[in-house]
Amino acid sequence: MRPRRQRQSKTGLDNSMLVYSRGQLFRILIYAVTISCFTYPACAHVKWFNNEYCVSCTPSKLFSVFNGFWFLLLICFSLLTLSAFIFDRAYFDKANQWTERKLRILRAPPEDYLRVGLGIFLVCLWWNSGILLTPELQTHNKLLPWLQLILAFTTISWTTTWIACVGVFFLYCFALKVYGVFHLLDYPIFLGIAAYLAIHSLRLNSLLPFAGSVLVTAVSGTLLWASFEKWAYWVWTVPLLAEHPTMTLGMNPKTFIVLAGFVEFFLAYFLLAGRFLGRVAALILLIMFVSAVFDFGFIDLVGHLLIIISLIVIILQGVQPITNLVSFPRLGVTNGAFACLGILVSVLGAYGIGYFGLHHLLYG
């Protein structure tokens, strides 16, 4: 027997959300799944390809960002996320065991990949002198490229890798002084990688169990912040889409950018709170970042090299203590999934307040 159709309640929804039919909602869900695999602007850092960005300029108005369509997408992604968390909690043990068996062919420890990757990254910075950690951070200091090359050589051995970690911290602080706090909040991943490798290099045994959590948190935090940038400064991405019109999948540019921000935010949170789902999210993001290189070239490869390798490390290392902290493993499948979704929405709200509130505080 089919259940009776319930009348649509207007409680908590504005009129702009009620005009969407069930067919339109279904298309949004299909777009959400499709865009997870084909949204290159979700991972292409717009500041590297649009020189007219202005961090100190006023972002889009709140009512323009968090409109009816945005909340509709939030509902759609929340439903998808709840289903994903239920599946993750029900099957993560078997899925992780199967994955571990397949990954045994990779005998090198995950941290070795990141150590070598940091060395290659620093050589690339030396080769393209004038870049300070990431392509849009430019410097005319003649000594910094040679410092980056010296730091690259220290990653050859674990014994001296901690020196490169200190150097990355110094470069981040130097960029912080030149470009300001708000701009550098785009890149906490550098601090996370430096801390992760320093723990292994200095053999800090008491901290080794938490090194992976530091890396996951830094990567997730970087992508969570970037998703809000897409919403607050969606106009920065429009010129990029004009050069690559096929990326929009036929959608309106703003609609596409907002949807890309949701994909990035939710996948980034899955890195942190997903058990087997964290590995799946890392793999999807990895495919997106690698695919973007074919469209955006060498600059994109250099800029995203460390995040690409970090995602590989996240796939290899599996569940970390931070995941157990935020996924409530003792609550069971359904209750735990709802708790995870509640934390996700809370994180979304906190990032929204932090992003717009901090910008107003710093640039008023």
66-102 pLDDT per residue, tens: 888 899 999 989 998 998 899 888 888 888 888 878 7
Residue in the block written with tokens 């990355």: 168
pLDDT value of residue 60: 87
- Cα separation of 297 and 291, whole Å? 10
CA angle 280, 269, 111 (to 5 degrees): 65
pLDDT at 4 over 80: no
Is the pLDDT reported for residue 239 higher than 90? no
Highest mean pLDDT among 90-94, 145-149, 285-289, 301-305: 145-149
Would you state the pLDDT for residue 187? 93
Q: Mutual orientation of helices 22-38 and 68-103 as an angle, nearest 10°?
A: 40
Per-residue model confidence (pLDDT) at position 129: 82
Between 250 and 21, whose confidence is greater?
A: 250
Higher pLDDT, 24 or 283: 283
46 CB-contact burial (10 Å; exposed 0-12 / middle 13-18 / buried 19+)? buried
Residue appearing with tokens 């036929």: 250
pTM, to two decimals: 0.85
pLDDT tens digits, one per residue of 116-147: 999 999 999 999 888 889 988 888 888 999 99
H-run or E-run covering 131: strand 131-132
Which pLDDT tens digit goes with each residue over 193-226? 999 999 999 999 999 999 999 999 999 999 999 9
CA 290, CA 339: separation in Å to the nearest integer? 33
How large is the average pLDDT for residues 277-299?
Answer: 86
Torsion of CA 311, 316, 317, 322, to 10 degrees: 40
- Comparing CA positions, the residue from 102, 87, 161, 37 lying closest to residue 318 is 102
Which band of pLDDT confidence, cut at 50, 70 and 90, is reported for residue 12? very low
Asked whether residue 28 carries a pLDDT value surpassing 70, the answer given is: no
Q: pLDDT-based confidence at 52, cuts 50/70/90?
A: confident
| Residue type present at position 6 | Q
The answer to whether the CB of 156 falls within 8 A of the CB of 116 is: no
Residue 134: strand pairing partners: 132
Query: Is the pLDDT at 114 greater than 80, yes or no?
Result: yes
Please provide the average confidence, as pLDDT, over all residues in the chain.
84
Q: What angle do CA 293, 299, 304 make, to 5 degrees?
A: 65
Q: How many CB atoms lie within 10 A of CB 249?
A: 12
Query: Token digits for 349?
Result: 């709200």
Residue 284 · residue 351 · CB < 8 Å: no
Q: pLDDT tens-digit profile of 329-339?
A: 788 888 889 99
C-alpha to C-alpha distance for 21 and 140, rounded to whole angstroms: 55
